[in-house]
Structure 1
Amino acid sequence: MNQLKTALLLCAATAILLAAGAAMGRSWLIGATVLAFAMNLGAYFWSDRLVLRLQRARVLTVMEAPQLHLDVAELAGRMGIPTPKVYVIPDAALNAFATGRNPEHGAVAFTEGILRSLSRRELRGVIAHELSHVRNRDILVATVAAGLAGAVGLLASALQWGALLGFGHDRDGEGGSPLGALLFAIVAPIGATLVQMGISRSREFMADAGAARATGDPEGLALALERLTRANHVIEPGPTAEPASASLMIASPFSGDGMMSWFSTHPPVAERVRRLRGMDPASLRRAS
């Protein structure tokens, strides 16, 4: 269901982009799309190094955390992916993330706080969640979504200036009315952002389900999510609270209620926990 939802949301983002192109003109559509995807293609190939540097992460050796490395290797083997590199982040907050453009270049990072505070059962749930992101190629999906949203944003900016200054048609005379273009320029980026956030939330649910299947223990991840939520309400966050990388974290450093949750990269923790506890551990163990 979440795979289908992701596909539908990507189609919705594409439709918004094509509508923006119809309002502005074919040449604008091509130019904005090429530019946006070129920018995000660079992010796709080099973002893992950048985000690890942004988090001040360092490689965590086997000697420092032998049990953690064993669990990462075991769960990666269960998921059929290469064992990723393991990093530690100097942050008291409880969080973790995965990065890497594909399973062959995967990396998982854990804060010092999460390594100190979680039991092995809980930490295995977190490990499996992050490895699910790697296996599902969520960095690639996020890059495509960001590219579509970025192209819509570029076209929207052009539409705003075009409506105000009286241009916006390409050489074939394509384009809509200035008032319609201005209205679309305001609405389209909001719609594209909502779609992008919806894709991110769907991938989080998928990673939770993948973790439950890999460990056969959905309760372990549910307990970890509850502990992370409680702890991060009282712990002053460090580098994991950077807005640029917040969407990568297993627990969002930023929370939103009501309509603001539509713009959140993460589903509500209560809903994630409810879904995990609705799974049958016995059937998961049989399937694994």
Structure 2
Amino acid sequence: MRSRLTAQRLHNTCQHLLILAGMSILLAMPAWLLAGPVGVLWVFGLVMLTLYLGGRIPARLVLARSGAGALHRHQAPQLYRVMELLYRRAGISQPPWLFYVPSADLNAFAVGDARDGGIAITEGLLHSLPLRQLAGVLAHEVSHLRHGDTRVMSMAATMTRLTVWGAMLVQLALIALLPMVMAGEIRMPWLELLAVGLAPLASSLLQLALSRNREFTADLEAAALTRDPKALAEALSLLERRNGIWLTTLFGRRQLPGWLRYLQTHPPTGERIQRLMALAERQGPRPPSGRPYRPREPLVEARPERRGHRYWLGRRR
């Protein structure tokens, strides 16, 4: 499993670099038309500045928007024991930090990075998954923290926004130069304008592809952290059954149309489950835990209060 994980990491890293290179080229096109090489240097300088500042945005600013509450150790001791094990295996030295989101949605998400961040879990997810499957979901989010995926996706989103703004500026410049074009004083660069017009769409598609690729990587990392890929596969199967109802309502079926997968931030759940189950088969059956069966105990013994902007913005940790 370790050799396969290493090969998959190398493959995904190459894909990440190619996608980011493609987004860089798309971003450079409108900047080149507007200001030549100087415009390209200015735009990439702005991207690097945004990346630097984005990596230092405290996690509490994200939590202020979700209405989350801090979930302390005495409120969820089982979850914190799982998180401590995952952090130790992931090589994260910071103590774990969990947040509780009072929402019926089945969701968990990472905020910040390994230095200043944590994982938020919704009420719906805590009610729906047993501890073993929840550990797989938490490991997936720990992988996002470990590799700074929020920072990478923030950079990709910034590049897409700048590409959109650059294309709009090119269109405004074209409108300003239209009298000179009609008078025949300058030539209209039709091919370049067509490429700039399509650049925002192409950049958005590459941004979505980068997100899907990093989700595949996080799945493999989670399987390595928990050493139980089947647990995450079972959790994804349950989430797909619960969250896939909208597909039946919208398309009359649960199977996604082929073209729609390119507009999603996550890969098709079936493909993710298939990869994880293949890892589970190569790993072999799990040894019995030897623990006696116990009725399911609540994972959160005391729900924290929903916190608003004022609480999180004034908080340091």
> Is residue 230–residue 280 contact of structure 2 (8 Å, CA) maintained in 1?
no
Q: What's 2:263 paired with?
A: 263
CA 1:154 to 1:284, structure 2 compared with 1: closer, same or farther past 3 Å?
A: farther
Q: What's 2:272 paired with?
A: 272
Alignment pair present for 1:22 and 2:36 = no
Q: What's 1:121 paired with?
A: 132
In the TM superposition, what is the alpha-carbon distance from 1:14 to its structure 2 partner? 1.3
Q: What's 1:91 paired with?
A: 103
Q: 1:134-145 to 2 correspondence within 5 Å?
A: 134-145=145-156
Please state whether the residue corresponding to 2:165 is helix, strand or coil.
helix
In the TM superposition, what is the alpha-carbon distance from 1:281 to its structure 2 partner? 6.0
Alignment pair present for 1:202 and 2:207 = no
Larger Rg: 2
In the TM superposition, what is the alpha-carbon distance from 1:27 to its structure 2 partner? 3.6
Residue from 58, 62, 65 that aligns with 1:54: 65
Question: 1:278 is aligned with what amino acid?
Answer: A
* Structure 1 unmatched runs, 5+: 168-174, 236-254
> Is residue 68–residue 99 contact of structure 2 (8 Å, CA) maintained in 1?
yes
Q: What's 2:169 paired with?
A: 158
Q: What's 2:118 paired with?
A: 107
Please state whether the residue corresponding to 1:266 is helix, strand or coil.
coil
> Is residue 58–residue 116 contact of structure 2 (8 Å, CA) maintained in 1?
no
Q: What's 1:130 paired with?
A: 141
> Is residue 51–residue 151 contact of structure 2 (8 Å, CA) maintained in 1?
no
Deviations 1:245-269 (A, max 9, x none): xxxxxxxxxx964323212111111
Please state whether the residue corresponding to 2:279 is helix, strand or coil.
coil
In the TM superposition, what is the alpha-carbon distance from 1:221 to its structure 2 partner? 0.3
* Structure 2 unmatched runs, 5+: 1-10, 179-185, 247-254, 287-317
Alignment coverage as a number of residue pairs: 259
Residue from 16, 30, 35 that aligns with 1:6: 16
> Is residue 218–residue 281 contact of structure 1 (8 Å, CA) maintained in 2?
no
> Is residue 84–residue 105 contact of structure 1 (8 Å, CA) maintained in 2?
no
Q: What's 2:231 paired with?
A: 220
Q: What's 1:250 paired with?
A: none
> Is residue 20–residue 152 contact of structure 1 (8 Å, CA) maintained in 2?
yes
> Is residue 37–residue 147 contact of structure 1 (8 Å, CA) maintained in 2?
no
> Is residue 98–residue 109 contact of structure 1 (8 Å, CA) maintained in 2?
yes
Residue from 144, 147, 163 that aligns with 2:158: 147
Deviations 1:80-114 (A, max 9, x none): 113331001010111100011x3111210100111
Q: What's 2:315 paired with?
A: none
Could you tell me how far apart the structure 1 residues matched to 2:259 and 2:232 are? 27
> Is residue 32–residue 39 contact of structure 2 (8 Å, CA) maintained in 1?
no
TM-score by length of 1: 0.81
CA 1:217 to 1:281, structure 2 compared with 1: closer, same or farther past 3 Å?
A: farther
Sequence identity, in percent? Answer: 34
Please state whether the residue corresponding to 2:73 is helix, strand or coil.
coil
Could you tell me how far apart the structure 2 residues matched to 1:261 and 1:160 are? 30
In the TM superposition, what is the alpha-carbon distance from 1:161 to its structure 2 partner? 1.0
Point out the more displaced range, 47-56 or 19-28.
19-28
CA 1:282 to 1:260, structure 2 compared with 1: closer, same or farther past 3 Å?
A: closer
Deviations 1:209-243 (A, max 9, x none): 000011111110011111112223469xxxxxxxx
Could you tell me how far apart the structure 2 residues matched to 1:140 and 1:285 are? 37
Could you tell me how far apart the structure 2 residues matched to 1:65 and 1:176 are? 68
Q: 1:35-74 to 2 correspondence within 5 Å?
A: 35-39=46-50, 41-46=52-57, 48-74=59-85
> Is residue 152–residue 192 contact of structure 1 (8 Å, CA) maintained in 2?
yes
